[in-house]
A and B are shown apart, each in its own frame.
Chain A
Amino acid sequence: MTTHIEFPFAPRPPAEAVEHLRRLMADRPMTKVTMPYGGDVWIVHRNRAARQILSDRRFVREPFRTGEREVPFFVPFPDFLRTTLQFEDPPQHTRLRRLVQKAISPRRVRDMRDSAVAFAGELIDGMIARGGVRNLVAEYAVPLPIEMLSSLLGVPSSDREKFERWSSSTLSVAGKSEQEIAADMGELAAYMTGLIAKRRAEPRDDLLSSLAHAHERDETLTDAEILPIAFLLIVGGFDNTANFLTTGVLSLLRSDEQRELFLTDPDGLAPTAAEEVLRHGNFMMGGPVGGGGGLVPFVATEDVVIDGQLIAAGEAVSLDPGAANHDPDVVPDPGRFDITRTDNPHLMLSYGMHHCLGAPLARMELQVGLAEIFKRLPQLRLAGEPVVRHDVLTQPMTDLPVTW
């Protein structure tokens, strides 16, 4: 007689959550859950099973894109996200994705690293000059990715405030009316359309220029295809990265042992520390951790057996990074925050053809952001508790008071 291991489960202290996930993954690879919106979905816990699904093309997103089916999710899924690359399948996905990936490639991002270091330095100079208790989110973690994304895309960073507003509007799950959201989206579309036209007339060395000129090589790339790509990059591009960076700094501030280790060689440890923050940072915030949600789901096009479990044709399936990142089969001692882990197969940026488009950029910013702040301010410490905003999809931190 075995006891049923509960999933979803209510928030509990991080160590208990890790233990619960261990028992859950020992019990079964996935759980069928009825979401608040869109009906049932298999939520896959085990890391290897999750990777198998993410690299199996029998799982597609077409029924969500066409609207044939509602996306099973914990909030009504934002409509505009359904028009992006994330919801395309091959061959259309392959074509668009490769086009954009070349502009956000590991190589391109490597060339941006020096300017990221310089800009992080300017932001820290500003914090030092102002002194006292500073908000790390507003003064460091948000402006850094916005600056990088602006220079990559080719939009003026002076329009930063507009991006912040548009982004929080598009990701909004509460507090904004449909009219307000539609107005913000319309403004963003007009802004980007204008910029694309400008870059088409006078190309520069940026992503919008290369997208605007892609039609010369490939007749079928239209403004209607370029626009959602630009949207996706703006919205996904700084909100998530800013949150990862804030989480990373907070994780190190919460662990004296790992922070002291990090301070011995910030540049050398930044790559593995960044991966560990992605894997385990959400368990280091200081509060309890629950389990429930998954990444954007797929639909099975035929019956598929994964890790012994049948996923029937037409059923939806989603990945649970919280569990997969703590799967003891691939992560030894998963409850330990260890910034020196070298093999870290977390799924925070997903995997397979839909893995995070901005992954190389996000990683670089996280590495630079962590290393620079602790090199300049090794005495950095918390001056209060973080403030989390619950009315947008990604639940970002909006204030992390720090001093030094």
Chain B
Amino acid sequence: MPKVFYTQPDGRQDVIEAAAGDSVMQTAVRNGVSGIVGQCGGSLSCATCHVFLAEENADDFAPVGDDEDEMLDCAATERQDNSRLSCQLILREGHEVHVTIPETQL
């Protein structure tokens, strides 16, 4: 079972057991993790599921696509090199993923 570690801006952490095939965004929204809005439901049109992906997980996912790249420029919190939209991070069996949630999504 994949596991996601969500770190809030204040350092508080939520650890959620996820389902393979779900995204890091879906997992957060379904489990009431604060700070990930995901208003467009994963259709790459809102930029409100922005996360910073831990370096050790950088190669676990497909690289940033053109549409994701464009939307990351629209995020409320300034993007960094490890910025991702969590709707694009699809979990696989056995995955352990660490993400940090930005100060604001809106």
Contact = CB atoms under 8 A, between A and B. Distances in A.
A351 B42 CA distance: 10
Given A101-B46, A343-B32, A343-B34, A352 B74 contact: no
Given A98-B45, A359-B39, A360-B106, A106 B76 contact: yes
Interface residues of B, number: 23
A353 B42 CA distance: 8
A297 B44 CA distance: 22
B72 to A, nearest CB: 10
Nearest to A106: B76
A102 interface: yes
A343 B76 CA distance: 19
A105 interface: yes
A51 interface: yes
B48 interface: yes
Interface string A346-369: 000101110100011001100000
A248 interface: no
A364 B48 CA distance: 14
B105 A106 contact: yes
Nearest to A100: B45
A55 interface: yes
A97 interface: yes
Contacts of B76: 106-107, 109-110, 360
B13 interface: no
A98 B67 contact: yes
Interface residues of A, number: 28
B54 to A, nearest CB: 23
A271 B104 CA distance: 10
B46 A363 contact: no
B60 interface: no
B70 A98 contact: yes
Given A107-B74, A107-B75, A355-B39, A98 B44 contact: yes
Nearest to B38: A351
Interface in B17-43: 29, 32, 34, 39-43
Nearest to B33: A343
A351 B41 contact: yes
Interface in A89-143: 90, 94, 97-98, 101-102, 105-110
B74 A353 contact: no
B73 interface: yes
A99 to B, nearest CB: 10
Interface in B43-95: 43-48, 67, 70-71, 73-76
B74 A342 contact: no
Contacts of B43: 90, 94, 352-353
A105 B34 contact: no
Indicate the member of A106, A349, A359 with the most B CB atoms within 10 Å: A106
A353 B45 contact: yes
Contacts of B73: 102, 105, 107
A97 to B, nearest CB: 5
A400 interface: no
A106 B41 contact: no
Contacts of A271: 106
Contacts of B105: 106
A349 B46 contact: no
B45 A94 contact: yes
A242 interface: no
A105 B47 contact: yes
Contacts of B34: 342-343
A271 B76 CA distance: 14
B40 A355 contact: yes
B106 A97 contact: no
Contacts of B29: 345
B76 to A, nearest CB: 4
A94 B40 CA distance: 11
A109 B43 CA distance: 20
A202 B106 CA distance: 32
Contacts of B47: 101, 105-107
Contacts of A316: none
Contacts of A343: 32, 34
Contacts of B45: 94, 97-98, 101, 353
B27 to A, nearest CB: 14
Nearest to A352: B41
A51 B75 contact: no
B44 A349 contact: no
8 closest residue pairs by CB, A with B: A105-B74, A106-B76, A55-B41, A352-B41, A353-B43, A107-B74, A355-B39, A101-B45
7 contacts: A102-B71, A105-B47, A105-B71, A271-B106, A342-B34, A353-B43, A355-B41
